[in-house]
Amino acid sequence: MNICNREGGRCAEMAMVCLTDFEEYAKEHLSKATWDYYAAGADECCTRDDNLLAYKRIRLRPRILRDVSVSDTRTTVQGTEISFPVGIAPTAFHCLAWHEGEVATARATEALNTCYITSTYSTCSVEEIVAAAPNGYRWFQLYVYRDRKLSEQIVHRVEALGYKALVLTVDVPYTGKRRNDIRNQFKLPPHLKQETAGPEDYGIPANTLDPSISWKDVYWLQSITRLPIIIKGILTKEDAELAVEHGVQGIIVSNHGGRQLDGGPASIDALSEIVDTVQGRIEVYVDGGIRTGSDVLKALALGAKCVFIGRPAVWGLAYKGEEGVREVLQILNDEFRLSMALSGCRNVAEINRNLIQFAKL
C-alpha cells in the first residue's frame, strides 16, 4: 500500500498494521471476480458476517499483577509443537492471489512453525508444496468424491509425502449458493486448470463431490489410512458426540466461512457446546472470523486448542506472496502475545473460560 508524497513525487510504503490493512489492499488489487470469489458468503451472507460480529460480543476479564514479563505462545496440535495456536485453514486457488500460490503459503507457515492445511482444490500440486517447504507441518483437507478410488489415491499420495493428518470436510454435500460468483460466472482461468477438467461449479469440477457421504465413510477412511482424521464442519453437540463415537482425532468447528448454509451459527458461538460435549476426549479447533490476536485468545478461552485463518492468508498472498502471509501470521502472533499478557496469562495453559464474559445486548 503506497502513499505518495506529491512534492517530491516519491511513494512511501505504508506499514501494514493489522489484518484489515491486508484486506483493503487485496480488495483494491485483485480482480473483481477473484475478490468476490474469496469474499463470498452464501445467500445473504448473514453467517459470514456474523462470524466476525460474534467475536465482538465476547468480552475479556483481564487479571492483573500477574508478572507477565515472560510469555510463551507455544502449544501442541495432535502431539506436535507449533509456535503459536494459529494455523492456515484450507482455502482454494491460491494462485489467483499470487503467482506462486500454495507454494508461498507453505513456505510462510514453515518459517513461522505452524500448521498449514492444504486444500483439495490447491492450484499447486502436493508434491510442489512439499518440495517448497520440506520441513513444514501439514495436514491435508479431503473431500470424499463420488469416485472413492480417486479419494483413496489422494489419501495414499499425501500420506506418502509426509502429511500428518486428514481434515475431512463434511459440510459440502452440495456447494452453497454464492450470488456474486453466479453473477460473475466465476471459473478458474485456463492456465490454472486442475487435474480434473470439465464443467465447473465455482471452479470445482461439477458432480465430483458425493452428497451421499455419511458417518460410515469415516470408517471407510480409517480402513485405508493410519493418519489421524479430523472432521471439519461440525456445528452441533449431537454431531460432536457422533464424531467422538466414530473414533476421529479432532473436530474443526466451522461453517465454511459462511459459504455454505446461510443462517447457521457463527463458528465461535457453536464452540462452547462442542467443547462441553467432547470433554477433552479429542482436540477441538475453530475457524471463521478470526481477525485479531484477541480473537485467538477468546477462542482458546472457550476451549479451542488452535484456530485456523482462511481469507486473511489469501489477503497476505495478494499483498506480497510468502512475505505477506508471514506478515499476517506474525501480526496475529504479536497481537495474541500482547492480549495474553494484558489479560494476565503467561502461557497457553493459563487461558481458560474464566477469562471471558459475553456482552449484554
Q: What is the pLDDT of residues 137-177, one digit of tens each?
A: 999 999 999 999 999 999 999 999 999 999 999 999 999 99
Q: Which residues pair with 337 in a beta bridge?
A: none
Cβ neighbours of 1 (radius 10 Å): 14
Residues 58-80: pLDDT tens digits?
Answer: 999 999 999 999 999 999 999 99
The C-alpha cell 493428518 sits at: 165
Q: What angle do the packed helices 32-39 and 311-342 form, to 10 degrees? A: 50
User: Is 4 a residue whose pLDDT tops 70?
Assistant: no
Q: SS3 of 81, please?
A: strand
Instruction: Write out pLDDT tens, residues 293-350.
Output: 999 999 999 999 999 999 999 999 999 999 999 999 999 999 999 999 999 999 999 9
Whether the predicted pLDDT of 215 surpasses 60: yes
3-state secondary structure at position 167 = strand
pLDDT for the residue 165: 98
Strand residue runs (E) in the chain? 2-5, 10-13, 58-60, 75-77, 80-82, 86-88, 115-118, 137-142, 166-169, 200-201, 204-205, 229-234, 250-253, 283-287, 307-309, 356-358
Binding-site sequence positions for FMN:
90-92, 119, 141, 169, 232, 254, 287-291, 310-311
What confidence score (pLDDT) does residue 208 get?
A: 83
Count of beta carbons in the 10 Å neighbourhood of residue 132: 18
Residue type for position 233: G
* pLDDT value at residue 201: 61
Q: Hey, what's the cell of 230? A: 479430523
Alpha-carbon torsion (42, 298, 111, 328), positive or negative? positive
Q: Would you call 29 a catalytic residue per the annotation?
A: no
**Binding-site residue set for glyoxylate:** 37, 143, 178, 256, 259
Higher pLDDT, residue 203 or 235: 235
Enclosing H/E stretch for 2: strand 2-5
Phi, psi at residue 290, to the nearest 5°? Answer: -80, 120
Beta bridge partners of residue 358, listed in sequence order: 58
DSSP run (H or E) holding 184 = helix 179-184
Closest CA to 341 of 331, 351, 332: 351
Above 60 in pLDDT, residue 8? Answer: no
Cell of 167: 481434515
Question: Where do the DSSP E strands lie in 40-119?
Answer: 58-60, 75-77, 80-82, 86-88, 115-118
Name, in order, each residue with C-beta under 8 angstroms of 195's C-beta and a sequence gap of 6 or more. none
Nearest CA to 233 out of 126, 151, 143, 315 is that of 143
Residue 85's pLDDT is 98
The rounded distance, in Å, linking the Cα atoms of 134 and 34 is 29
Q: Mapping DSSP to helix (H, G, I), strand (E, B) and coil, where does residue 216 land?
A: helix
Question: Which pLDDT score is estimated for 10?
Answer: 37
Instruction: Retrieve residue 148's grid coordinates.
Output: 472413492
Place 2 in a pLDDT band, splitting at 50, 70 and 90: very low
Q: DSSP secondary structure string, 134-154?
A: TT-EEEEEEPPBSSHHHHHHH
* Per-residue model confidence (pLDDT) at position 189: 80
Share of the chain above pLDDT 90, in %: 88
Q: Is the pLDDT of residue 36 over 70?
A: yes
Mean of all residue pLDDT scores within the chain: 93
- The HSE-up count of residue 204 (CA atoms within 13 Å, CB side) is 20
Active-site option among 29, 94, 191, 256: 256
Q: What are the binding residues?
A: 37, 90-92, 119, 141, 143, 169, 178, 232, 254, 256, 259, 287-291, 310-311
Output the pLDDT for position 360.
63
Q: Which string of DSSP letters, residue by residue, matches 284-330?
A: EEEESS--SHHHHHHHHHTT-S-EEESHHHHHHHHHHHHHHHHHHHH
Q: What are phi and psi of 218, to 5 degrees?
A: -65, -45
Average pLDDT over residues 242-262: 98
Evaluate the CA torsion angle 180, 287, 95, 24 in order and state its sign. positive
Q: Is a pLDDT exceeding 50 seen at residue 195?
A: no
What share of residues in the chain are helix, strand, coil (percent, to 5)?
40, 15, 40
Exposure string of 15-34, with b = 16+ CB inside 10 Å and e = fewer, is: ebeebebbbebbeeebeebb
pLDDT score for 358: 79
